[in-house]
Structure 1
C-alpha cells in the first residue's frame, strides 16, 4: 500500500510540474499587446500655456488651454477693428496644430463665404495671431511629447 502511495505521489509530481513551466515572452509580443490596448486618440496631458501647467485634471487642463487660445485670438482680432458693411454673426473653425516641440500652426480653416467677403484679411489675421502665441508646452502621451490638432470655434460678431 505504501508503495502504491509513493508511486502515486511521484507520478503526481512528475506530471504536475508541466503546469509550472514558464513561457518566455518576446519583446515583439509585448509591443503587440501594448499597441492593441493603446488609445491613440487620447493624450495624457494636453498642450498648455505656463499658467495652465499646474492643472492636473485632464478636462480642466483642456478647457484652460482652449480658453486661453480663444482669449488670445479675440484680443488680436479686436485690435484690428475691422469695418463691415453687413452684420455678421457666424462661427468659423480653426484647426490648430501643436507640434511635439510646442510650435503652433494653422492646419486648416473653415470660413463661410460671407465672412470672407466682409473680412477678406481674416486668414492673415488668424495666421498672425497663431504666430505670436506665447510659449506652449506640447501634449504628452506616456511622458513623450506628441503633436495634436484641435478644432477651435471662433465666433465672429459684428454690427
Structure 2
C-alpha cells in the first residue's frame, strides 16, 4: 500500500512538473528580427538646416542637392581656376556625411590631363567642404547613419558647373 501511495505521489509530481514546464514555455515571448536591410537606401537624406522644414522626402532630397551644389559652387568660385589649355571634364567627388552630420571627402576621380591643368583643384574642394555647415545626418530605421554620395563637377573654360547625383 505504501508502495502504491509513493507511486501515485511520484506520478502526480511528474504530471504537474511537465505541465509546469509546458506552461512556462508557452509564456515565453517570441521576438522576430527583420534581417532584410536595404543598405543602398535611407529613410531620410542628410539635410541642411534650411531643408528640415520640408515635409516631402523627395523635395528634401532636391533641397539637399541644390544646397550642396550651391555651397560647393560658391566656394570654388571664390578661387581663380586658370588653365593654360582647354578644360572640358567632369570630376567625380565622393563625399561622406557621417552619423554626426560632418561632411568629408572620400575621394576624387579626376583625369590626369585635368589634374595637370588644375593642380590645386583637390585642395580647393577640401577647403570648400570645411566651409559646409554641420548637416542633419541621414536616417535609417530611426538611427543616424553614415552616407556616401557622388558629386559630379563639370569643368569647362567658360564656366564651372556643379551637379549632384
TM-score, normalised with respect to structure 2: 0.74
Q: What is residue 23 of structure 2 aligned with on the other side? A: none
Cα displacement string for residues 106-142 of structure 1 (whole angstroms, at most 9, x for unaligned residues): 1111111121111101000001111110121101112
**Post-superposition, which runs of at least 4 consecutive aligned residues in structure 1 deviate over 4 A?**
22-25
Q: 1:90 & 1:23 partners in 2: Cα distance?
A: 66
| Aligned-pair CA distance for 1:25 | 5.4
How many residues align structurally?
133
Q: What is residue 26 of structure 1 aligned with on the other side? A: 30
| Aligned-pair CA distance for 1:85 | 0.9
Q: 1:42 & 1:75 partners in 2: Cα distance?
A: 29
Q: 1:60 & 1:90 partners in 2: Cα distance?
A: 29
> Which is helix-richer, 1 or 2?
1
Cα displacement string for residues 48-94 of structure 1 (whole angstroms, at most 9, x for unaligned residues): 10111112322221121111111111111111012111121211111
Larger Rg: 2
Alignment of 1:35 onto 2:39: no
Root-mean-square deviation over aligned CA pairs: 1.7
Structure 1, unaligned stretches of length 5 or more? 1-21
Contact 1:47 1:139 in 2 (8 A): yes
Q: 1:74 & 1:114 partners in 2: Cα distance?
A: 22
